Amino acid sequence: MELAEPFEMTQPAISRHLKVLEVAGLIIRRAEGTKRPCRLAPSAITEIDQWLEVLRQALTKNYDRLDQVLAGM
């Protein structure tokens, strides 16, 4: 319930989202009695960051080429 509180979503919807993140390997959940605390999976975050860096570089090249085309017009 604590996670759902700041959002306009039901607790079951939050649980479904967390399950998707868990299956994707982005979070790690463990059982502590009736609680299921979550934490980010550091290795997955590193992989995402590496992928985003490749994307940033590709987009930067595309925007640079666009700037050249527009400057030549």
Please report the DSSP string for 3-17 in residue order. Answer: TTTTTTS-HHHHHHH
Domains of the chain, by residue range, sit at 1-40, 42-73
Cα(51)–Cα(43) distance, rounded to whole angstroms? 13
| pLDDT tens for each residue of the chain, 73 residues long | 777 788 888 888 888 999 999 999 999 998 888 888 889 998 998 999 999 999 999 999 999 999 999 999 9
Give kind and range of the element (H or E) at residue 49: helix 42-71
Contact 27, 21 (CB under 8 A): yes
Contact 26, 45 (CB under 8 A): yes
